[in-house]
């Protein structure tokens, strides 16, 4: 018998939400405990900072430029490689419970396979998973959770924040809650009907169906704490937004925000003041400059409440594994697809902004007891492409040649871990943003390739712009050293290293089929 794998993902969770990573708001003792007794990676980076490309990198072990999903509107090809299929072929029972999102979610006509299963009453197979049950951020999308919820309580879905505007033409940007914060709602749903507990319940039921003598690879994928922020109203007592400070990364005045953003490429300030619509990362009409500090506090409180619910749901699943006598033989890996600005720089949501708020991810691996791994904090850079190779190493199976990552290090000091890369390509022709980033030796360097919104017929960026940050300037990327002559040599070296390390682009480029 080999080792089992429980792969747990959240959606849009920041690195610093965990107590072990400096978080002071949410109480997440289960995940913190796994990190303290296992491996905690402090430089896990996303290969892309929106959902579909990042999740496609997890399942394929490939860069977005290789698997082809460079933006949320580009579906992962049906014949794409899948590490779940590889493990399944090598004797593992496989399941995906919760959010998948390898294909466009706003698909009310069920064009893509991922969205057809619930309507057909099917639970798979899909992309190498024997069993699937899907959930999204709300029950209005036609996935398993929404149909289940309406069967339990035909009115329960009404408490969720509506993802789409009443006219159906765009993502909703209405405010709610106590402060009128964007994408916030008071949700009267019973906690046991909320999708966090549903994902844990469905995972538990599937795990119980697997004989304890057989191996499993189970991907438990929570839709939270991604917006909209609408946890059960019964849980709001956990954290009072009025008690929170604004985040350390949020300047306390508009003048200070502008002083920081003026030192960054133009679309940063454009997002803040509304001249650049960040439609790939949040509601199209949202203007951060109009957001109040109280709204930031309320969003952060709801975000952390959702993190606490995820932690408790995870604890319930681990308890079942212990009851069944398989916990000690199970590797537990917990991470997320990308981060959240969450008030940093006076901004909210995500988008083409390559900073720690979005790129740097929580990453915890608690190896099985019989793996004999010593607990450690690992600072070497790693990425989402390394997950597939790690699953293979745990399972004791060959790593396929199509996997571009390598197994995560299990001890500090791995000298082969020098860099981690992230890329961004817009799905909208009028945006046309192309960012390429490298983290190495305490530096974060981002190249802006020619493109961006056209101003008087000329692209915003001519290919000479960029960002360069060093950890020596502090924990937030406030000071852009791109044009600093004292940093020119290191900048040029990082850029050359980055382009030498990226694989070639997939050719031909996949089409955007459902821009969101």
pLDDT given for residue 216 in this prediction:
98
pLDDT given for residue 515 in this prediction:
81
On the 0-12 / 13-18 / 19+ scale of CB atoms within 10 A, 479 is middle
Quick one: how many helices (H) and strands (E) in the chain?
Answer: 13, 17
Q: Rounded CA gap, 149 and 168, in Å?
A: 22
- Alpha helices by DSSP H, 362-423: 386-395
Around 1, how many Cα atoms within 13 Å sit in the side-chain half-sphere?
Answer: 16
Across 272-292, average pLDDT: 94
pLDDT at 1 over 80: no
Across 3-20, average pLDDT: 98
Q: Rounded CA gap, 4 and 149, in Å?
A: 30
pLDDT in tens, 335-381: 999 999 999 999 999 999 999 999 999 999 999 999 999 999 999 99
Share of the chain above pLDDT 90, in %: 92
Structural domains of the chain, with CATH: 4-410 (3.40.720.10)
Query: Cβ(128)–Cβ(87) under 8 Å?
Result: yes
pLDDT at 168 over 70: no
Average pLDDT value over all residues in the chain: 96
CA 259, 228, 116, 221 dihedral sign is positive
Across 314-325, average pLDDT: 98
Query: Cβ(423)–Cβ(436) under 8 Å?
Result: yes
pLDDT in tens, 110-160: 889 999 999 999 999 999 999 999 999 989 877 999 999 999 999 999 999
pLDDT given for residue 481 in this prediction:
98
CA distance from start to end of the chain: 44
Q: Rounded CA gap, 246 and 301, in Å?
A: 11
Share of the chain above pLDDT 70, in %: 99
pLDDT in tens, 15-70: 999 999 999 999 999 999 999 999 999 999 999 999 999 999 999 999 999 999 99
Q: Rounded CA gap, 159 and 379, in Å?
A: 42
Q: Which two tokens stand for residue 226?
A: 């991604």
Model confidence at 499, pLDDT cuts 50, 70, 90, reads very high
Around 493, how many Cα atoms within 13 Å sit in the side-chain half-sphere?
Answer: 9
pLDDT given for residue 192 in this prediction:
97
Q: Rounded CA gap, 478 and 417, in Å?
A: 26
pLDDT given for residue 194 in this prediction:
98
pLDDT given for residue 516 in this prediction:
77
pLDDT in tens, 182-227: 999 999 999 999 999 999 999 999 999 999 999 999 999 999 999 9
Closest CA to 182 of 23, 347, 337, 309: 347
pLDDT given for residue 170 in this prediction:
62
pLDDT at 174 over 90: no
The two beta strands, 216-225 and 4-11, are parallel
Q: What angle do CA 95, 371, 40 make, to 5 degrees?
A: 75
The two beta strands, 216-225 and 330-336, are unpaired
Say which residue the tokens 């309320």 belong to. 298
Beta bridge partners of residue 461, listed in sequence order: 451
pLDDT given for residue 224 in this prediction:
98
Query: Cβ(365)–Cβ(42) under 8 Å?
Result: no
pLDDT at 167 over 70: no
pLDDT at 245 over 90: yes
Q: Which two tokens stand for residue 392?
A: 């293979």
Model confidence at 284, pLDDT cuts 50, 70, 90, reads confident
Q: Rounded CA gap, 238 and 228, in Å?
A: 18
Closest CA to 100 of 65, 61, 162, 143: 143
3-state SS, residue 244: coil
Q: CA gyration radius for the chain?
A: 22
3-state SS, residue 233: helix
Q: Which two tokens stand for residue 220?
A: 């438990």
Closest CA to 207 of 102, 110, 325, 310: 325
Q: What angle do CA 80, 86, 88 make, to 5 degrees?
A: 120
Model confidence at 163, pLDDT cuts 50, 70, 90, reads confident
Query: Cβ(147)–Cβ(134) under 8 Å?
Result: no
Q: Which two tokens stand for residue 338?
A: 């990308």
Say which residue the tokens 């030192």 belong to. 263
Neighbours of 246 (CB within 10 A): 15
Q: Rounded CA gap, 98 and 509, in Å?
A: 29
pLDDT in tens, 65-107: 999 999 999 999 999 999 999 999 999 999 999 999 999 988 8
Query: Cβ(368)–Cβ(65) under 8 Å?
Result: no
Q: Which two tokens stand for residue 130?
A: 């024997």
Please tell me what DSSP assigns to residue 325: T
């Amino acid at each position: 018998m080999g080792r089992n794998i429980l792969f747990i993902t959240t959606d849009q969770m920041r690195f610093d939400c965990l107590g072990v990573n400096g978080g002071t708001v949410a109480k997440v003792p289960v995940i913190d405990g796994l990190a303290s007794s296992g491996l905690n990676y402090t430089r896990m980076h996303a290969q892309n900072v929106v959902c579909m490309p990042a999740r496609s990198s997890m399942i394929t072990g490939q860069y977005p430029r290789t698997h082809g999903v460079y933006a949320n509107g580009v579906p992962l090809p049906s014949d794409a490689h899948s590490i779940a299929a590889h493990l399944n072929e090598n004797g593992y029972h496989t399941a995906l419970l919760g959010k998948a999102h390898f294909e466009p979610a706003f698909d009310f006509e069920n064009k893509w396979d991922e969205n057809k299963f619930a309507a057909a009453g099917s639970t798979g197979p899909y992309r190498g998973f024997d069993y699937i049950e899907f959930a999204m951020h709300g029950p209005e999308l036609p996935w398993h959770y929404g149909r289940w919820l309406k069967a339990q309580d035909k009115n329960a879905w009404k408490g969720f924040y509506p993802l789409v505007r009443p006219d159906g033409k765009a993502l909703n940007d209405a405010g709610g809650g106590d402060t009128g914060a964007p994408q916030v709602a008071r949700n009267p749903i019973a906690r046991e009907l909320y999708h966090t507990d549903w994902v844990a319940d469905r995972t538990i039921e599937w795990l119980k169906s697997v004989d304890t003598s057989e191996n499993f690879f189970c991907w438990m994928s929570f839709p939270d704490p991604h917006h909209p922020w609408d946890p059960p109203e019964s849980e709001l007592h956990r954290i009072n937004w009025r008690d929170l400070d604004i985040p350390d990364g949020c300047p306390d005045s508009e003048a200070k925000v502008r002083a920081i953003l003026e030192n960054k490429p133009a679309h940063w300030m454009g997002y803040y003041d509304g001249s650049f619509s960040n439609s790939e990362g949040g509601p199209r009409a949202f203007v951060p400059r109009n957001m109040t500090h109280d709204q930031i506090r309320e969003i952060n409180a709801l975000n952390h409440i959702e993190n606490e619910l995820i932690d408790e749901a995870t604890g319930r699943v681990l308890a079942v594994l212990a009851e069944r006598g398989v916990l000690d033989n199970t590797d537990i890996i917990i991470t997320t697809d990308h981060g959240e600005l969450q008030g940093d720089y006076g901004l909210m949501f995500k988008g083409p902004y390559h900073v720690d708020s979005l790129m740097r991810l929580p990453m915890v691996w608690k190896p099985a007891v019989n793996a004999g791994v010593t607990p450690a904090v690992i600072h070497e850079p790693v990425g989402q492409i390394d997950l597939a190779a790690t699953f293979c190493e745990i399972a004791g199976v060959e790593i396929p040649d199509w996997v571009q990552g390598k197994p995560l290090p299990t001890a500090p000091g791995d000298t082969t871990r020098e860099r981690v890369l992230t890329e961004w390509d817009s799905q909208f022709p009028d945006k046309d943003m192309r960012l390429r980033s490298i983290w190495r030796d305490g530096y974060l360097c981002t190249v802006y390739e020619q493109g961006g919104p056209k101003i008087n017929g000329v692209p915003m960026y001519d290919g000479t712009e960029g960002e360069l940050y060093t950890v020596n300037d502090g924990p937030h990327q406030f000071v852009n050293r791109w044009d600093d002559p004292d940093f020119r040599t290191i900048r040029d070296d990082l850029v050359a290293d980055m382009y030498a390390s990226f694989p070639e682009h997939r050719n031909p480029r996949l089409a955007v089929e459902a821009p969101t």
